[in-house]
Amino acid sequence: MWTRPSLLDFAKRYGTDKWGSHFYIPHYERHFAPYRDQTFNLLEIGVGGYKDPALGGESLRMWQDYFPNATIVGIDLYEKHVAGPRIRVYQGDQTDAVFLERVVAEAGPFRLIIDDGSHLNAHVIRTFEILYPTLELGGVYAVEDLQTSYWSSFGGDMNDLTSANTSLNFLKSLVDAVNYAEREGGVPSYVERHTVGVHFYHNLCFVDKRVNDEPSNIVKPRLTGEP
């Protein structure tokens, strides 16, 4: 009896470092499986292979096979030649707002976004700030290789675990965004109003984007004289 290939099957077929070098695949399958047969656009930042245009693209091919109805879009700082009937690659800087806006306009909107780019902490934060507002409602934003949050060479800090400059702490702050209704006063930000879940795994994070309109369940004390 035929069994539908899993994401791990495709990861092994194409040799993506999302399995082996890392162990992301089970987490991706858990969060991405509901989208498998949907028609949508996926964006992955970072094609792989560094400066060689002939190298990289393993995960783009994996996504193309796993999502049979999706268009797969890649971004890389270097020129990349990745062939595929539903694969499209752009060359540009992941922190360049004008470039990213053009990609979204031409190939988006995106339902799934994966940041597997430079892994520089400042880049991760800036890219999220640009792209998250463009992510479709009901979509997921994934960030890989969060180990660089502890690496000084990437702008991380292994001594100050509360530093606001690391990508990991930036993503941790989204937990407060999910619970903004529990804070009194102030106007909620776009991210607060559109983030309903944040899931952390080893060096990996998923952010769920939906309308966050759950009210607080705090029972406020009655004032003297109230009925």
Ordered by start, the domain boundaries in the chain are: 7-209
**Catalytic residue at 202?**
no
State pTM to two decimals. 0.94
pLDDT of residue 221: 56
Which pLDDT score, from 0 to 100, does residue 57 have? 96
| Overall fold of domain 7-209 | Rossmann fold (3.40.50)
Q: Distance between CA atoms of 7 and 205, rounded to whole angstroms?
A: 18
Of 154, 161, 91, the residue nearest 119 (C-alpha) = 154
Tell which residue, 61, 56, 108, 114, has the closest CA to residue 85: 61
In the chain the first and final C-alpha atoms are separated, in Å, by: 68
Predicted pLDDT at 2: 79
**In tens digits, what is the pLDDT along the chain, a chain of 227 residues?**
779 999 999 999 999 999 999 999 999 999 999 999 999 999 999 999 999 999 999 999 999 999 999 999 999 999 999 989 999 999 999 999 999 999 999 999 999 999 999 999 999 999 999 999 999 999 999 999 999 999 999 999 999 989 999 999 999 999 999 999 998 778 999 999 999 999 999 999 999 999 999 999 876 655 555 55
Task: Choose the catalytic residue: 119, 123, 194, 202.
Answer: 119
